[in-house]
Amino acid sequence: MQTNGQPASTEVHCPRCGRILKSEKSIKRGAGEICLRKMREAEAAIKLNAKPEQIAKAYEVIELHAFDRTAQGRYDIISGDATELYDTTKDTCTCKAGQYSKLCYHRLVVAMLSA
């Protein structure tokens, strides 16, 4: 057994990436900060029954930061071709799919950001 000065038994690994958690906060939460965020986002997507392509698009919006928070739980989200801005909450969206009360990836973005 390798100890490197620290007993191996105190090592806590992140369940997502397997890295050893170093900060006390992360150890308490049981996962690294970024991974915890990603796991929460994935959970939010599963809850909404989002399709894989919707999840991929939502991640793209989040990564490109193609949104503006306008109020608590309310965002302006830039459309895929960057020509429109959708006023989106967890339950509503001004895009075409949203007008038919269908789940669109814009709403998914809001759900993931509020997760």
Residue from the set 45, 58, 59, 106 that interacts with Zn ion by CB under 5 A: 106
CA distances from 12 to 34, 37, 80, 82 (A): 16, 18, 40, 43
Binding to Zn ion by residue 32, rule CB under 5 A? yes
Element (H, E) at 85: strand 85-89
Among the listed ranges 2-10, 39-47, 55-63, 89-97, the one in contact with Zn ion (CB under 5 A) is 89-97
**What is the pairing mode between strands 67-71 and 74-78?**
antiparallel
Contact status, residue 76 vs residue 88, Cβ threshold 8 Å: yes
Binding to Zn ion by residue 112, rule CB under 5 A? no
Rule CB under 5 A: which of 35-74 touch Zn ion? 35
* Closer of 15 and 47 to Zn ion (Cβ): 15
- Which residues bind to Zn ion, rule: CB under 5 A? 14, 16-17, 32, 35, 93, 95, 98, 104, 106
